[in-house]
């Protein structure tokens, strides 16, 4: 494995191999769902930067994720870098073992919780080989999903006086930092829109099936005007249950989700979902930008070490524009090197990980 070279501290890597290897501990599936999107865009960006991804898929099973972490640390030779997430709050052990082995590690999408940090420390300080954390603004996403439900209901009842909106909230899980942050955003919206009445808050384990079952079980119990869903799979399940009950999604019941999934985009276009929030799977590419910059002497820890990037809503107003460029999910059309800070001394020294710059980075021959 490569050694480390200090630029104002621990900030750059001197690799011994021509093709540095990045071990990615994928908490999800490699062949479907959200984490496949993360993986796909990560592989494209890594290829552009001359990096090799060695991926360990955990299929949303925390015991398998723990086993995969052990497999990573048993690699011979060790990986040059590790990318991991604090899914199921498994990140603490991974960070500690990476530091003990002096392997630079980047956390994406789920940071350590405050309680974990109080025990273990922070990136770049007590844990110097924990280089940085890259996470999306989940609180804003949770808030804007709820806000979209209020606005959609108002549009449906434009000629009526303001009325209470019966809300079913379907969270992802009870302990993943991203899930908790989205719920924080929902709570902010509930405080701001008192007529949005949360009747029940349930956990759907990020899945279509549980989204369907939770909604189907609730429908006979009480009123339902809106469903706040933590991701598109849950939203799709809720929509199917609403339809099976003879009600019309987007009219009788408004539903909002998150992930920018292909199915989510279709439901937005069909008027069955208010929005699919997201873009956070692009963290797979953004972290490759950061790994590449770290390799080339950019002081990532001095800049951060905590990096936040915005998630954005795709609605009926902008879904056609998005699909025109990315309907095929061909991320090879994006020049991810344009997001790198390497070689840009004296220029803008901040990252612009957002939809507008993504569109601006499409290669001219596409």
| 13 pLDDT more than 50 | no
| Equal CATH topology for 3-136+280-312+328-360 and 138-258 | yes
| Phi and psi at residue 203, to the nearest 5° | -110, 130
Beta carbons of 218 and 237 less than 8 angstroms apart: no
In b/e form, how buried is each residue of 221-233, taking b as 16+ CB within 10 angstroms?
A: eeebbbbbbbbbb
- Whether residue 10 is predicted with pLDDT greater than 60 in this model: the reply is no
**pLDDT tens track for 26-59:** 998 989 888 999 999 999 999 999 999 999 999 8
Q: Which residue has the higher pLDDT, 270 or 33?
A: 270
- Token look-up 């990980």 returns 353
Please name the helix (run of DSSP H) or strand (run of DSSP E) that holds residue 148, with its range, or none: helix 138-156
| CATH among 3.20.20.370, 3.10.129.10, 3.40.50.300, 3.40.50.2300 for 3-136+280-312+328-360 | 3.40.50.2300
pLDDT at 366: 56
Q: CATH topology for 138-258?
A: Rossmann fold (3.40.50)
Give the start-to-end residue ranges of the domains of the chain. 3-136+280-312+328-360, 138-258
What's the CA gap between 169 and 280, in Å, rounded?
21
* pLDDT at residue number 17: 52
pLDDT(149) > 70: yes
Dmax over CA atoms of the chain, in Å, equals 69
């Amino acid at each position: 494995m490569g050694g480390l070279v200090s630029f104002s501290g621990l900030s750059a890597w001197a690799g011994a191999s021509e093709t540095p290897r990045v071990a990615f501990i994928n908490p999800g599936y490699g062949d479907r769902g959200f984490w496949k999107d993360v993986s796909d865009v990560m592989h494209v960006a890594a290829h552009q930067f001359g990096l090799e991804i060695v991926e360990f898929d955990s299929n949303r099973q925390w015991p398998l994720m723990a086993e995969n972490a052990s497999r990573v640390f048993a690699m011979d030779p060790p990986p040059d870098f590790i990318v991991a997430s604090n899914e199921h709050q498994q990140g603490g052990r991974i960070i500690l073992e990476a530091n003990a082995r002096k392997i630079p590690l980047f956390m994406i999408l789920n940071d350590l919780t405050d309680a974990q940090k109080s025990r273990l420390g922070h990136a770049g300080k007590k844990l110097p080989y924990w280089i940085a954390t890259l996470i999306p603004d989940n609180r804003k996403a949770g808030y804007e999903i709820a806000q979209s439900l209020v606005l959609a209901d108002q549009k449906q009842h434009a000629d009526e006086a303001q009325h209470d909106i019966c809300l079913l909230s379907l969270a992802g899980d009870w302990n993943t930092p991203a899930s908790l942050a989205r719920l924080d955003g929902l709570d902010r919206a509930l405080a701001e829109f008192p007529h949005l009445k949360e009747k029940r808050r349930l956990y759907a384990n990020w899945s279509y099936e549980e989204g369907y079952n939770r909604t189907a079980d609730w429908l006979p119990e009480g009123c339902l005007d809106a469903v706040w869903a933590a991701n598109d799979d849950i939203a799709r399940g809720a929509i199917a249950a609403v339809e099976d009950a003879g009600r019309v999604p987007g009219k009788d019941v408004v539903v909002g989700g998150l992930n920018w999934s292909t199915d989510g985009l279709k439901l937005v276009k069909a008027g069955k979902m208010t929005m699919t929030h997201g873009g956070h799977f692009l963290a797979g590419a953004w972290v490759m930008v950061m790994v590449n910059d770290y390799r080339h002497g950019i002081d990532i820890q001095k800049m951060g070490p905590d990096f936040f990037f915005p998630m954005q809503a795709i609605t009926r107003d902008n879904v056609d524009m998005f699909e025109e460029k990315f309907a095929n999910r061909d991320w090879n059309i994006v020049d991810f090197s344009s997001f790198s800070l390497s070689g840009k001394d004296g220029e803008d020294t901040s990252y612009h990980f957002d939809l507008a710059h993504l569109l601006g980075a499409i290669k001219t021959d596409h």
